[in-house]
Structure 1
């Protein structure tokens, strides 16, 4: 005798569409239903926060956008709650509370990858002061409040006693390079420390980068004595964080010269000049040229247009640089195996007592534009570094040492 067919709860087309729309909503709007203020249990209207109502509204908006005409008030809250339970039954949702918004698993990342990515995001938000990343970081931190992080296991059988629960928010990896200027307009407002810089226009700059739009910005100060202040018309190429600050890599619209400058040295002004943009491929080609210059050089000074053109064509004569480093600094120089792609490290004779080289010679070829920044790097090692070539760099460091001796002598006399 044939068994009677059982009616599936989602056999009805409308019920099936509702379930698919619910899944689509969770996929496309991760965190839907979370509270903006986690301390605010009661809204201004006096009603308790209802994540299901927020989820329902988003579901209906998505349905309308993709062409599904749902009846007024549909789906009912109890129906939506049953659908969520069905997703739990199939392990699409976890069996836990979603007070901080609904989302599916960890999205495109597994747990271990999410942990590493979150640590990097935290560093950029807190220490590098990226305002947009900071907003995203705090939003994700809210959504992940209920997330139970366990290390990814290679074994097919996972034993809870061997792999206890861990604190997801513990910063296993951290980047402590810290911005020395205000970068977040919200932070400036909260602290009453307004700074009239390009950081107030950073969203517009990012949009122009992706669209390949020409923009007009204004440099407010120049600490290098070249008098390069006032309006600039540029193609912005990339925002770079390095060491203590954010920089803007850009290409001049007038002659194609590439340059890098501190973001905080531009004023609070940004005007889009070409809404249509020149396309992302043109942006990529310019970015590629800039990184060729960065790879050849030392630091962020990219030089003038004529020098750049010669260098990119392979016609520029580089300068052979040689610096001798003495212990204990020489050990740190040896350690930097990848400090520059074209470097060579040569060892001096061994010291009979320590068995280590008496010195190491650091050799490489640099474009002339990079000698100043290279000199600054050498100076940090004080009397443990001696420039051997080129002659003009030797004289520069010799004179700097004499000037320093005079300064200390004058200081002693004045005291």
Structure 2
């Protein structure tokens, strides 16, 4: 076995996978070999293998024993878990000055067997640790590119003749080394032909796609940075590269934290259109391999062609997220059974990234890189392909920016303002220039309330509003108060107290201001659904425990049903009519409603008839507008304009709408009718007609003496 003395052996497997037993079998076959175990070193140093101890001390002793084995002319069997690629490559990097060839032995013991064998070990390992290490082993499997001259495997539960398996695997390893050299003899190398550099680039891409703003998190999102670094408080970094390097070290291991190399990676990614806002479609400009001296262990993407295909695929998806989904849904609508990966392959062919003969390699790119490195989300969580949080392309981002800007400015929404500022800053980091976007649409008038002039406790302010938003999401009951001096409609306030316990349900913008939708939780109004101006309320404190999300959503559905069947936001003062209405069938609801009947002059009705969403569409009918042709109109529009003209010489055009009784008390309904002056005539209900008459008479009397 003298030919095997030059080969050294690194074992890979989770705790209780049978590594130590296999190491002994391997030692018997090799003859002059020594088993070096980190557990045995811990026992030598600290008297107990369970004592972890400082890794620096253990590593130093391991290196000493390796050098002693080399001096003694013995092969080395390194018995440790080695389930992470960073651990294996880090070890090989440490021993590389010795020039030793290594074979990776992967133990294929299944998880349940590991757990069962663990129960019979002298030192039982927590099952969670075994599960984690088993998952690590499946994540990035051993490859020759890590620095091995051969890859071997052994399954303790199936390979009943260890000696025969070992000899067969050693023979295979000798051949694989020669085959590896022949396969990559004509490789066109590039900067990422070494697996270490390739790994670092892929891990960097995954981090940047999942954590926008990485490099500035210390200032912009310190909580996320502390979570990534698993330390608090986060340290101060001299620049963005230092922060990114620290996160890479914490997340993937010290091996990937070379700041100089990361700086070059970032420069290259930016130049190739991965980091900026500009869409780059040009061919890749690949820098040459640094220090091309041997030994160079090749990986699947060491050659220029497959690497270019892979990174251009990533760049394409980065700039065109989820575009497969539209094609997928369209083909499904025609009864086809499309596959998203085939749609992606077709799109990559059209972009001259993938040749038709390379569709199989696209699957390998996804299997070998895009999923294992976390560049793609989990398969079960996606529809189409995208990177990290990048689900919008450049144009869509600009549209979202303008929409948020309109809500923040036009509706005076303090929380939207905070979101808008964050979005604007992130876009500027990504080298978008929002100032160059032309404001095609705008909201000319939104809230009549300036939040800058409100008391800080008002729910319409950013801080208090954020708290009540959290209450809504958590289904938390709260106690609210009404700000002293705030306007109130006294005719509706008989039972409303200055302070009340409520279940907040939603924040709604309506006409002129923001309102809080809520359900009264206690007191004489318990169970009543209401809307109330946000700026008139303040939050006192949470009360009791949250209710279930099922109850919260049912309450929201109830108040939405009440509001959508009426006019405005007033829902009455009594619980019983609301509950009766909610329990009725749609047909019974219509029968229980009152009819609002209006007539208009021809000149005014031309405007009124355009308001097809002023009232609930299914509850409203009108006369056909003058000059309007309905032959090609939709059935819904023909039904809406189905009332005949009334025999009224001045106001012949009719509008009839079914409304709950409480909607006829809505202040804004009366305001609307009064504003139409003599152009409208209220026919029914009689009480509303009388109220309108009295208001007109009162207004006339007010100016009667002038």
TM-score range, shorter-chain basis? Answer: 0.7 to 0.9
Correspondence 1:343 to 2:343 = no
Q: Partners of 1:324 and 1:367 in 2: how far apart?
A: 20
1:54 counterpart residue number: 240
Equivalent residue, structure 1, for 2:530: 259
Alignment match, 1:69: 253
Is 1:329 the counterpart of 2:329? The answer is no
SS of 1:79's equivalent? helix
Aligned to 1:237: 505
Q: 2:396: which partner in 1?
A: 113
After superposition, the C-alpha distances for 1:14-61 in whole angstroms (9 at most, x for unaligned) are 434432332233222223446979xxxxxxxxxxxx999235425634
Q: CA RMSD in A?
A: 3.3
Quote the offset at 1:215 in angstroms.
1.5
Asked if 1 retains the 8 angstrom alpha-carbon contact of 2:651 and 2:680, the reply is no
Shift of 1:318: 1.0
Distance 1:62 1:244 in 2: 50
CA distance in 2, matches of 1:236, 1:175: 27
CA distance in 2, matches of 1:126, 1:223: 27
Aligned equivalent of 2:368: none
| Structure 1 residues 379-414: Cα deviation after superposition (integer angstroms, max 9, x where no partner) | 22112111011111111111111111111113x1xx
**Bigger mean CA offset, 116-125 vs 134-143:** 134-143
- Report how many aligned residue pairs link the two structures: 357
Equivalent residues in 2 for 1:110-189, closer than 5 Å = 110-145=393-428, 146-147=431-432, 168-183=436-451, 187=452
Q: Could you report, residue by residue, the CA deviation over 1:220-251 in whole angstroms, capped at 9, with x for unpaired residues?
A: 24511115232221211111112221111111
Partner of residue 47, structure 1: none
240 and 208 in structure 1: CA distance in 2 versus 1, 3 angstrom threshold:
same
Sort the Cα spacing of 1:95 and 1:84 in 2 relative to 1 into closer, same or farther, 3 A.
farther
How far did residue 206 of structure 1 move?
0.8
Partner of 1:307: 577
Residues 322 and 389 in structure 1, CA contact (< 8 A), matched pair in contact too = yes
Q: CA–CA distance in 2 between the matches of 1:217 and 1:58?
A: 45
2: CA distance, partners of 1:147 / 1:349 = 50
State the TM-score, normalizing by the size of structure 1. Answer: 0.76
Matches of 2:598 and 2:552, distance apart in 1: 37
Mapped partners of 1:325, 1:110: distance in 2: 49
2:605–2:625 CA contact under 8 A, matched in 1: no
Whole-angstrom CA distance in 2 between matches of 1:386 and 1:370: 18
Structure label with greater radius of gyration: 2
Matched, 1:197 2:462: no
More helix by share: 2
CA distance in structure 1 between the partners assigned to 2:570 and 2:257 by the alignment: 61
Higher relative contact order (CA 8 A, sep 6+): 1
- Whether 1:366 aligns to 2:627 is no
Does residue 318 in structure 1 map to residue 593 in structure 2?
yes
Q: CA 1:283–1:135 in structure 2 vs 1: closer, same or farther (change >3 Å)?
A: same
Structure 1 runs of 4+ off > 6 angstroms? none
| CA distance, structure 2, for counterparts of residue 211 and residue 55 of structure 1 | 38
8 Å contact 1:124–1:133 — kept in the other structure? Answer: yes
SS in structure 2 at match of 1:118:
helix
1:283: Cα distance to partner? 2.1
Q: For 2:482, which of 219, 228, 250 is the aligned residue?
A: 219
- C-alpha distance in 2 between matches for 1:301 and 1:30: 43
Q: Distance in 1 between the 2:655 and 2:547 partners?
A: 43
Q: CA deviation at 1:180?
A: 2.0
Q: Pick closer, same or farther for the CA change 1:147–1:349 going to 2, 3 Å.
A: closer
Provide structure 2 residue ranges, at least 5 long, that are not aligned to the other structure. Answer: 1-181, 221-235, 279-317, 322-389, 628-649
Summarize the Cα distance change of 1:366–1:95 in structure 2 as closer, same or farther, 3 Å threshold.
Answer: closer
Contact 1:177–1:243, Cα closer than 8 Å, also in 2: no
Q: How far apart, CA to CA, are the structure 1 residues paired with 2:507 and 2:659?
A: 25
SS of the residue aligned with 1:409?
coil
Q: Counterparts of 1:250 and 1:389 in 2: how far apart (Å)?
A: 31
User: TM-score scaled by structure 2?
Assistant: 0.46
Residue 704 of structure 2 is aligned to residue 409 of structure 1: yes
How has the CA–CA distance of structure 1 residues 171 and 390 changed in structure 2, closer, same or farther, with 3 Å as cutoff? same
Q: Could you tell me which of 563, 567, 575 is aligned with 1:294?
A: 563
